[in-house]
Amino acid sequence: MGNNINNNINWFPGHMAKSIKKLKEITKFIDFFFEIVDARAPVSSRGDNFAKIIDFKPRIIVLNKSDLADEKITNNWLSYFKNLNIFAIKSSKNSSLNLKSQINNLINKLEIKKKFGKIRCAVIGVPNVGKSCFINRLLGNKKLKVENKAGVTRSLNWVSCGNLEICDTPGILAPKINSEFAKKISYLGLVKSEILNTEEIVLNLIADLSYNYKKSPEEFLKDFAISNGCISKGGEINLERASNLFLKNFQTGKLGKISLEAPN
Ligand SMILES: Nc1nc2c(ncn2[C@@H]2O[C@H](COP(=O)(O)OP(=O)(O)OP(=O)(O)O)[C@@H](O)[C@H]2O)c(=O)[nH]1
Ligand SMILES: [Mg+2]
């Protein structure tokens, strides 16, 4: 049985605690941070954990997976951060935008005072948000392991990229996450799926997307199961399979480019 979505997510394995400790140790040597968030929910996918860790070092917010988000809302987020004098860029793994030159421009603006040696940065964020994939894009190769599940990177890894030394870090969640954040990061697949009750998440998601205009979320899911052939051998409706399919459709953008959070 998974965690109840109405309660907090309790997934704080040993490697996360260890990584927080290590991150705190290296922060004093870090010139700036890339903070990767999911463009579909930049607030919930940041959590409230990192401000304490990164010690007010310069940072660049990366609105990643922007290919899956509502473009207009992502652009509103960029204006929002600009108004707050926070550097932010949008990014997507298939984008043809020249990520490197965009980042070099920002690094110049960060005014990192360094007479000798390379600039050191670390890439931080919640699990499965695309940290390792982002670094691979900068490197121009597939050096770091990337997989579509939360908790792939388990320790801090340094790689060299031109004038940058970049540290890839494991995805970190707070030990306790408020239930609104928990809901959204579950929808987005940023939590280890094994600890979740997928059917309950999907019923919440259907309600939040207002798909249940004339039906209850339960009826909507049953109809979805039938129309997508999610039927067990005995002939019963297989809600588990239907829930997994619905969630996958949402997470891969098959239901459209949907942002879950917009700036005020
Ligand atoms: N659609 C889309 N998928 C992306 C993007 N960036 C990364 N992904 C996918 O997201 C999944 C997770 O990517 P990773 O780079 O492994 O994520 P991570 O943040 O390093 O995850 P952990 O190491 O578990 O913390 C992979 O399936 C990537 O292909 C993007 O911009 N768009
Ligand atoms: Mg990783």
Which residue has the CA at smallest separation from atom 16 of ligand 1?
146
Does the CB atom of residue 58 touch ligand 1 within 6 A? no
Residue 140 lies in a domain: yes
Ligand nearest to the CA of 190: 1
**Does the residue 5 lie in any domain?**
no
The total number of structural domains that make up the chain: 2
Taking CB atoms within 8 Å and a gap of at least 24, the contacts of 238-243 are 239/199, 240/198, 240/199, 242/202, 243/198, 243/199, 243/201, 243/202
Q: Are residues 50 and 104 in the same domain?
A: yes
- Is 48 part of a structural domain of the chain? yes
Both 247 and 128 in one domain: the answer is no
User: Do residues 37 and 130 share a domain?
Assistant: yes
Same-domain pairing of 160 and 42: yes
Handedness of CA 192, 198, 204, 209 (dihedral sign): positive
The protein residue whose alpha carbon is closest to atom 10 in ligand 1 is 130
Whether residue 157 lies inside any domain: the answer is yes
Is 89 domain-assigned?
yes
CATH value at residue 111: 3.40.50.300
CA-closest candidate to residue 198, choices 236, 247, 238: 247
Residue 4 lies in a domain: no
What value does the mean pLDDT take over residues 241-250? 97
- Within a domain: residue 191? no
CA 243 remoteness from chain centre: 21
pTM for the model stands at: 0.94
Give pLDDT tens digits for 159-204: 999 999 999 999 999 888 888 899 999 999 999 888 889 999 999 9
Looking from the CA of residue 129, the nearest atom of ligand 1 is 19
Q: Is residue 233 part of a domain?
A: yes
Give yes or no: residues 132 and 29 share one domain: yes
Q: How much is the pLDDT for 236? A: 95
Judge if 29 and 135 occupy the same domain: yes
Instruction: Determine the residue of 123, 136, 146 to mutate for testing ligand 1's pocket, defined as the one with the most ligand atoms within 8 A of the Cβ atom.
Output: 146
Is the beta carbon of 185 within 6 A of some atom in ligand 1?
no
Q: What atom of ligand 1 comes closest to residue 150's alpha carbon? A: 24
- Ligand closest to the CA atom of residue 152: 1
40 and 163 in a common domain? yes
Do 127 and 230 lie in one domain? The reply is no
Contact 39, 61 (CB under 8 A): no
Domain that holds residue 62: 14-168
Task: Write out pLDDT tens, residues 46-103.
Answer: 966 777 788 789 999 999 999 999 999 999 999 999 999 999 999 999 887 789 899 9
Q: What is the pLDDT of residue 55?
A: 73
The pLDDT value recorded for residue 5 is 52
